[in-house]
A = this chain, B = another copy of it.
Amino acid sequence: MGTQERKALEKQLRRSQILDAARMLLFSSGIDSVSISGISGKAELGVGTIYFYFKNKEEIFAALQEEGLALLYANIRQLMEKEPSPEKQLAGIAEAYYQFSEENKDYFDIINYFLSSPTVFFEPGLKHQIDMSGHKILKIIRNTITAGIETGVFKEAQPGRFSIMFWGTLHGLLHFKKLEHTVLENENHRDLYRYSVNKLIDAIRRS
């Protein structure tokens, strides 16, 4: 039915409208000062309407998180695909994550928000969707490593594990960014990050 289609489309449109408002607010004022009424104001919709399209405030954030993961995924693909060799590709992935954490700090923060919080639970369906996004990113890494193994550049018996470790190291180091001028004292964070990535690539190259 044409009518049905249009309705579905409109529904999608409203969702975007709300998400746009939420994103703008998130980026301009930080995660703590995003309120439903704020979103409703920015989106020029009633508060009740927000609740029609999203069950929760958290659901809105989850959607934003997905956006972030999608963007990160795209960035990674882009930077990685420029590179010819698995080694350079891995480095490209790491570089993409670093850039993302700086250039899309708000998305990075929101992803971390959910990852760090010991509480927050989403509905199973929602959670699955988000996990899938994380999965896709991890898969790129694993594929790159597997490809490297196949071409003989890498030697690694457990590419699945190594890819998680790789990702975990990047993640942990990015977390340390805020310690740059205190605990890490003299270390330049960027250099430290690159050093670590090289270390990891070295480790898999020779093992």
Chain A contacts to B: CB under 8 angstroms: 30-32, 105, 109, 112-113, 115-119, 127-128, 131, 134-135, 138, 158, 160-162, 164-165, 167-173, 175-176, 178-179, 182-187, 191-192, 195-196, 199-200, 202-203, 206-207
Contact = CB atoms under 8 A, between A and B. Distances in A.
A138 B172 CA distance: 14
A191 B167 CA distance: 16
B175 A118 contact: no
A199 to B, nearest CB: 6
Copies in the complex: 4
Q: Is the interface of A mostly helix, strand, loop or mixed?
A: helix
Contact of A160 (B115, B187, B202, B203): B187
Contact of A165 (B31, B164, B185, B199): B199
Contacts of A195: 158, 161, 165
